[in-house]
Amino acid sequence: MMRAILALARREITRFFRQPHRVVGSLAQPLIFWVFLGSGFTSSFRLPGMEGVTYLEYFYPGVLLMLMLFSGIFSTITIIEDRNQGLLQGVLTAPVSRFSIVMGKVLGAMSIALMQGVVLLIAAPFMGLINDWSIALLVIMGMVLSSLGFTALGFLIAWRMESTVTTRSDPPHGPCPGKSTLLHGPCTPPFPVQI
């Protein structure tokens, strides 16, 4: 069972790194979003009781969570592609449990999300955001749980989808519009709250 899980997870990771545009896009999008919005709103950001916090610091957890969310969305697209190419049917007929197949796909997509999150997390001490290793450990544990949740939810949604193409009636949020809309709310708001 473990061999099947690790084989599918390794396949997901290999597939990710064989698509350089996906690697660059998945890392560049949240970094650009964080730097441009963070530096743009820093001069107007004032929260009572948080005078020493810049908008880059305030927005960092939201960008980290957004990275986990969108990585979970786009990594589960491979389920639809595998089904359309016939690979998923071949895997389903193999003498392994369906649980192993699900865990392999989820573990692979979760690993991709965590690798991307760690890249953003490495930048945190240099920006003065995380100075204590115990806080970094808590952030990593939160990243593991959130990437597992987002990826498993994306897998659940993608399992029933036939195509990655959205129709005109779908909102323009990609192949998993409900997940994107529902879970974007808990992220750090892009504008300061007036109290």
User: Is residue 195 one of the residues assigned to a domain?
Assistant: no
Domain hosting residue 73, numbered range = 2-161+173-184
**Given a cut of 90, is residue 78 above it in pLDDT?**
no
The position carrying tokens 């089904």 is 83
More confident residue, 85 or 109: 109
> Which pair of structure tokens corresponds to residue 110?
């979760």
pLDDT at 176: 46
Contact yes or no for 70/181 (Cβ under 8 A): no
User: Is residue 24 one of the residues assigned to a domain?
Assistant: yes
Contact yes or no for 180/174 (Cβ under 8 A): yes
User: Is residue 192 one of the residues assigned to a domain?
Assistant: no
More confident residue, 15 or 165: 15
User: Is residue 139 one of the residues assigned to a domain?
Assistant: yes
CA nearest neighbour of 152 among 68, 82, 37: 68
User: Is residue 146 one of the residues assigned to a domain?
Assistant: yes
Number of domains in the chain: 1
Across 3-17, 54-68, 161-175, least confident range: 161-175
d(CA 112, CA 2): 19
